[in-house]
Amino acid sequence: MLHIKPIINTLMRSKSGPILLLIQIILSVAIVANASFIIGERLALMDRESGTEEEQVFNFLLYAFDSGIDIESQIPRDIRAIRELPGVIDATTTSMVPLSGGGWSSGYTIGDSEETAKDTENTAIYYGDDHMVNTLGVDLIEGRNFYETEVLTGSPDLATHGIVSKAFAKKTWGDESAIGQIMYAGGWGDKPIQIIGVVDKLQGAWVNSSYLDNSVILNVRLVNMFSKVLVRVEVGTLAQLKQVIPAMLHKDEPNRVIEDFTLISEHRKRVYRNHELMATVLSMMVILLLLITSLGLAGMVMFNIERRTKQIGTRRALGAKRRDIISLFLVENYIICIVGGIIGGLVAVQLGQQLMTFYSLPKLELIYPIVTVAGMMVLTTIAVILPARKAASISPATATRSV
């Protein structure tokens, strides 16, 4: 039966090695726990659904540089022609593109009177027509779409009807239905917009925004010299349509530039690139730290085997079995790991508090230090087993010759 106190006394005879390893474990637990938490947070952010058919919907820019073009008739004619192409599901003009990193946003005012009026959270604004919902591929879960006769052309101030995302509806009106609610684009009573529909999910353009899931589609078709066009196509037809659409539009009106065909899924990759890079770098750092800690522990065990060959041989001569020798080194490892893990866990929580303060990160969940310590125990056990088995194979005769 192993006794803890003699093992601790043995460790304290040569303090430098165990203390250095203890410090290494403390730092590893503190850093790995927080790094793992940040990695998990970044992966969760990257995994958020935009609500759109990302692999089917693309956008392109349409810039008419000839002032003689009648934009108000040209753009609707272009959109109708695109909708008729084989492989195209739907198309529309838009003020912004999901996950693109740029676009329109604003807050609104709600309330039954000027005295009870309050401001909403900021929300992304999509100006579009009755084809916007189908083009994006979002799910209309309550209310209805715009009627064609409700769609207005011109200034954003013309908006009278809106379709909001479920997230924005929940934050603005709580459990009350959003259908029929009024919000004001100016102060209370100014530029009223009636909510006629709710979509399940529609994200805005800014993935680092706290209001990413807040969106509203307004019944205004923006028509100007510089237009963004959204097109939803059948899978596998994009490459062909990238050639067909510019050729068709240039044939109708050559004095314009058509460029930047980009799937929403490609926008996703671009805007989340920094998150992906951070997760990759932190993952490499975690692996490196764990590897260094394991190698350090294995090196200390191997050094102790060489230094304590006589002691191990004597134990074997007095009847100690191989498993007793292996258990001796494992218990030494567990003592260092448990002490280092407890202190490292406390340091990890404190480090998490600092990250919350300076970098606005969420609070570190305790499961991360706990899992890190558990993982460290498993990893160091593996690192100790091999040199410990070597120590267990030392015979009393070998120990006697070393005297």
Residue type, 331: V
Q: How confident is the model at residue 321, as a pLDDT? A: 76
Q: How confident is the model at residue 72, as a pLDDT? A: 84
Q: How confident is the model at residue 213, as a pLDDT? A: 96
362 DSSP assignment: P
Q: Can you give the pTM of this predicted structure?
A: 0.80
Q: How far apart are CA 362 and CA 106, in angstroms?
A: 26
For residue 146, give Cα distances in angstroms to 73, 132, 152, 196, 396. Answer: 21, 9, 11, 8, 90
Q: How confident is the model at residue 320, as a pLDDT? A: 67
Contacts of 182 (CB under 8 A, 6+ apart): 110, 192, 193, 194, 195
Average pLDDT, consecutive stretches of 10 residues, N- to C-terminus, the chain (403 residues): 60 70 87 91 92 95 83 89 95 94 92 89 95 96 95 92 97 94 89 96 93 96 89 91 92 88 95 93 91 81 71 67 76 84 90 79 86 87 80 64 50
225 DSSP assignment: S
Lookup: tokens for 162: 């809106």
Coil, strand or helix: which one is 244? helix
Q: Decide if 42 contacts 56 (C-beta within 8 A).
A: no
CB atoms within 10 A of CB 394: 21
For the chain, domain boundaries: 4-47+273-401, 66-254
